[in-house]
Structure 1
Amino acid sequence: MSTDFRGFRRIVVGIDGSPSSLAALRFALEEASRGEADVLAVLAWQSTVHVPEALAAEREKAKERLDAILAEAAFGPAARLDSTTPLGPAGPVLVRTADREDDLLVIGTPTSRRRVFPRRSVSRFCLSHATCPVLAVPSPRGHAPRQRDTTGKALSRSL
């Protein structure tokens, strides 16, 4: 059974470099190639600095990180792919960005039997607060989900 996603004009996809976010990007690009939708890749970032020069440098690092993720993903030509790096927590940024009636928000979600921090889940936030349809794409098989500690640093996981 397949679902028709051609009614959407824009597909907003959350990117963080994880296998599930790359799977979400792959899905968004494939769907956009079948219809009329544009794809907007979003990498949200947060800062603790308030000095304009330092904030500008962090913004540039986020943009470089997103560009590197998109270049490494190299899914082929994507003429209708745009990207943005807004400041803020990922969940609220994605919900705020996917604010149009004809948007589809696509997010990666780790597949795991146990959820370490369910209250901090970006996918849960988006599914609960978005005003447009949300599609949660699981991690590809064979990839362990990334977990984060309370400082936001990625932890390795052995299964």
Structure 2
Amino acid sequence: MESRQQEHGRIVVGVDGSESSRAALAWAVRQAELTHATVNAVTAWEYPPLYGSLGWLEAPDELRATLELSAGQALSDTVGSVVDPRTGPRVETVVAYGTAAAVLLDAARGADLLVVGSRGRGGFSGALLGSVSRHCTAHAPCPVVVVRGTGQPAERR
């Protein structure tokens, strides 16, 4: 696996289920077809930390497993709806705990390209870039492509 990634490249794409992240995944898949790269479809999840007299608390183990499983299922569903496994490039899914920007920047280390949607699920809908795409363009260790949603859902090709 490692030799194939080194030989043909690796494209990291952030997927949160939003329309623009689906468009980013479709764009990354098409670029991987052209360059024979592997796609790493990455999603991040985090537990809203609780602050108390003990400081920041992490999710209890039983809740952590449920949240991680849910994030993984959402990622698999999105990849399955956009990528045709018979004809598309190899797509590996990665589910990681942390903020979306931190997880994507970590995943992008050693990658040839990072692809993100212009806007995710939160924030202000009128803004040109969301906080994650803005952070990634400023701090990524590789080139970044920001894909705007088309207004139409990305479909399996």
Q: What is the CA RMSD across the aligned residues, in angstroms?
A: 2.5
Q: For each residue in 1:36-76, what CA deviation from the matched residue of structure 2 results, as whole angstroms up to 9, or x when unmatched?
A: 31000001111145322221121111111111112222445
After TM superposition, list the pairs within 5 Å mapping 1:1-159 onto structure 2: 9-48=9-48, 49-75=58-84, 77=86, 78-100=88-110, 102-110=111-119, 114-115=126-127, 121-141=131-151
Question: Where do 5+ consecutive residues of structure 2 fail to align?
Answer: 1-6, 49-57
Superposition TM-score, scaled by structure 1 size:
0.74
Greater RCO between the two (CA within 8 Å, min separation 6)? 2
Question: Where do 5+ consecutive residues of structure 1 fail to align?
Answer: 1-6, 144-159
Task: Assess if the C-alpha contact under 8 Å between 1:45 and 1:85 holds in 2.
Answer: yes
**Bigger helix share:** 2
CA distance, structure 2, for counterparts of residue 82 and residue 17 of structure 1: 16
In structure 2, relative to structure 1, the CA distance for the partners of 1:46 and 1:70 (3 Å cut) is: same
Runs of at least 4 residues off by over 6 Å: none
CA distance, structure 2, for counterparts of residue 46 and residue 14 of structure 1: 15
SS at match of 1:93: helix
Instruction: Determine what percentage of the aligned residue pairs are the same residue.
Output: 35
